[in-house]
Homo-oligomer: A and B are copies of this chain.
Amino acid sequence: MSPTMQADVARTNRAFEEVVAARNVAALDGVYTADARILPPGGEMIQGRENIKTFWANAMAGLNVKACRLETVTFELSGDTGYEIGRATLEFAAEGAAPMSAKYVVIWKQEDGAWKWAVDIWNPNA
């Protein structure tokens, strides 16, 4: 992965963290491709960025999430597709609530010159 692409990937991942911190799902336009798919634990696969925004709006409110931190473990580029393995830590607004550790795989595609998430699947570590 080139330094430029590494910066692009980091920018998108930081954008997701900001979406969570600000509960601003409109900014998911810069994170997911228009026809992206997410595979959330405990639910069916969801396709399309607008549906994904609804999912995250509900999930962030339902879980009372305060912050999310993403850490890339491996990233490989093959042809026009990237794939990433990472760790996520979720923090909750409720006092005394323990953070949750999760792990994920994201398939990356370029859309309008930006690297975005085309497929996003995760699950909790415990």
> Could you tell me the distance between the alpha carbons of A90 and B102 in the complex, rounded to whole angstroms?
23
> Could you tell me the distance between the alpha carbons of A77 and B41 in the complex, rounded to whole angstroms?
25
Contact A85 B124, beta carbon cutoff 8 Å: no
Secondary structure type dominating chain A contacts: strand
Q: A41-B41, A42-B126, A126-B42 are in contact. Are A105 and B121 (CB under 8 A)?
A: yes
Contact B105 A42, beta carbon cutoff 8 Å: no
Is A39 among interface residues, defined by CB-CB distance under 8 A? yes
Could you give 14 example pairs across A and B, Cβ below 8 Å?
A42-B123, A42-B126, A43-B125, A45-B73, A76-B81, A81-B81, A83-B119, A103-B121, A105-B105, A105-B119, A105-B121, A121-B121, A121-B122, A122-B123
